[in-house]
Amino acid sequence: MKRFLAAFLALALLGSPAVAGEWKTPPPQAQVAQADDTLEVLWEGETDLDMLKQVRIDIRRAAVDNKKVLAVTLLSPGGPVITSLEIARQIKLARERGLIVRIHGIALIASGATFVLAAGTPGQRSISKYTFFLVHPPQGSNYGGATCLNVVPEPKDVVDKAINAILRLMRDMYMEFTKKSQEEVEKWLTCGNEIVGSGELALSLGMADEVRE
């Protein structure tokens, strides 16, 4: 059981390899809305429990205040897989209830944050041209370092099955939000196929609809 818990926690690592562990930004705070039908907010920092709580608060606030649009500025290096996917799911649920979730990515959108951007309302997802954009598979801890996690063809234990389940969840969510094929998305989640670029990359992958200066 201890081995399983350690491995499962390791699966939660999806932060940007270049910056994970160094992010010092405080939890995001809601910003004052500037339009009667719009609530403007900032989601900044890791896509962890703190951001998940803030996302729920902002979505609930938009509903209580009868806002039609939640306008999000997003700046994030990513974070744990589970919370990243749950944030994206909360956005999806809000959209299904009729809320327009307008997301604009700036400066850094990496790893788990790519799910958050992609989850926004189609046609309402934008990104700054000069944003650092990174998509990569999840990572597991290994003696203080990080190792890339691939699909286990013949899973032998619960850890192998957990790895496969996480990768399937990531694949299916990317496919739903980007409308890309299973074959293409699975390449993004295969070790050695990490994708790095600027705002135009998010557009080409179907995670954004517009690139801004």
3-class secondary structure for the chain?
CHHHHHHHHHHCECCCCCCCCCCCCCCCCECCCCECCEEEEEEECCCCHHHHHHHHHHHHHHHHCCCCEEEEEEEECCCCHHHHHHHHHHHHHHHHCCCEEEEEEEEEEECCHHHHHHCCCCCCEEEECCCEEEECCCEEEECCEEEECCCCCCCCCHHHHHHHHHHHHHHHHHHHHHCCCHHHHHHHCCCCCCEEECHHHHHHCCCCCEEEC
Contact between 84 and 116 under an 8 Å Cβ cutoff? The reply is yes
Q: How far apart are CA 68 and CA 28, in angstroms?
A: 21
Q: What confidence tier does 62 reach under pLDDT thresholds 50, 70, 90? A: very high
pLDDT value of position 65: 96
pLDDT value of position 23: 44
Question: What is the average per-residue pLDDT within 117-139?
Answer: 97
pLDDT value of position 143: 56
pLDDT value of position 95: 98
Q: What confidence tier does 18 reach under pLDDT thresholds 50, 70, 90? A: very low
Maximum separation of any 2 CA atoms in the chain, in Å? 56
Torsion of CA 121, 123, 170, 200, to 10 degrees: -140
Q: What confidence tier does 147 reach under pLDDT thresholds 50, 70, 90? A: confident
Question: What is the average per-residue pLDDT within 161-165?
Answer: 94
79-97 pLDDT tens trace:
999 999 999 999 999 999 9
Q: How far apart are CA 200 and CA 53, in angstroms?
A: 30
Q: What confidence tier does 142 reach under pLDDT thresholds 50, 70, 90? A: low
Question: What is the average per-residue pLDDT within 13-17?
Answer: 55
Torsion sign (Cα): 134, 89, 190, 10: positive
Of 99 and 34, more confident: 99
pLDDT value of position 144: 59
pLDDT value of position 135: 97
Identify the weakest region by mean pLDDT among 20-29, 107-116, 145-154, 198-207: 20-29
Tokens of 82: 């589970």
Q: How far apart are CA 210 and CA 200, in angstroms?
A: 9
